[in-house]
Amino acid sequence: MELTDIGTIKELFSRHGFSFTKSLGQNFLINPSVCPRIAQLGLEGAEDPSEICALEIGTGVGVLTRELAARYKKVVAVEIDTGLKPILEETLADFDNVEVIFADVMETDLAGVIADKLGGAETAVCANLPYYITSPVIMRVLESRLPVRSMTVMVQKEAADRLCAAPGTRECGAISYAVRYYSEPRLMFKVSRGSFMPAPNVDSAVIRMDIVRRHDLSDAEEKRLFGLIRAGFSQRRKQLANPLSGELRKSKEELSALFTELGIKPTARAEELTLDDYIRLARKTD
């Protein structure tokens, strides 16, 4: 079954009475080279690839799901649109190692899914993410510290640049720091808008975030760290001491002295600090 073939997709849609829901970010992949690459990237570097499981978010007609099922021990996919159910029953019929959960990924207990359905096995998250919830989904997976080895996801090119931007550069945003705190992100390859049906207005890219644990902050310090970053970027054109003085309930003079002690320029803006600068600030300000 060739699920990147437009004729095949249209025939499936008409037979099952399915039509796209734009608000769910339904842009399905029709470029045959993309899904095998995403599936393969999730396995890279694994000691024993035959033991790795996959978690997919948003199956569409199952084009990536099939590539995952062919390579991973078991696949669990979360899809919100129950209208895809009869289609998936047909397109995934060849595989007995796939389970689709029809639910909103933002409401799903993903840790429970990995524990119960994948037996707590090492898991790779692979997805062509619905664009309207790219950042919330990524943050949900990262923050809940799921036992996942990596996330290989397709996102809009602009989002890919921001998610992979090194903290302390012009392209970065608050989310770049969060991503870098939990993972090592890398832009893997670009995907043109013509690779999707219907074609979106922008190009996309596949990024991989390899999960790392390199900081040992307490829960309170971690909470403060992200509070500081959020506050700083809420007024990114201003000198950081302005928004932080409210967040930390300290005078600008006190903050200026603290910045100097930590080797941070007192006039710095949010994007001029490295992740380590924010971490040292969070550790110093309880």
> Where on the chain is the footprint of ligand SAM (CB under 6 A)?
24-29, 57-60, 63-64, 78-81, 104-106, 128, 130, 133
What is the C-alpha separation between 3 and 41, in angstroms, rounded? Answer: 20
- Between 64 and 244, CB nearer to ligand SAM: 64
Q: In angstroms, give the least distance from the CB of 157 to ligand SAM.
A: 14
Cα–Cα dist 73/69, whole Å? 7
CB of 185 to ligand SAM, least distance (A): 20
Min. distance of Cβ 215 from ligand SAM in angstroms?
A: 30
Name the minimum Å distance from CB 102 to ligand SAM.
Answer: 9
Residue 26 CB, shortest distance to ligand SAM, in Å, is 5
Q: Kindly state the smallest distance separating residue 162's Cβ from ligand SAM, in Å.
A: 18
Nearer to ligand SAM, 64 or 172 (CB): 64
Q: Closer to ligand SAM at the Cβ: 22 or 252?
A: 22
In terms of CB distance, is 39 or 264 closer to ligand SAM?
A: 39
Nearer to ligand SAM, 20 or 226 (CB): 20
How many other β-carbons are positioned within 10 Å of the β-carbon of residue 267? Answer: 11
- Minimal CB distance residue for ligand SAM: 58
Instruction: Specify the residue, 62 or 185, whose C-beta has the smaller distance to ligand SAM.
Output: 62
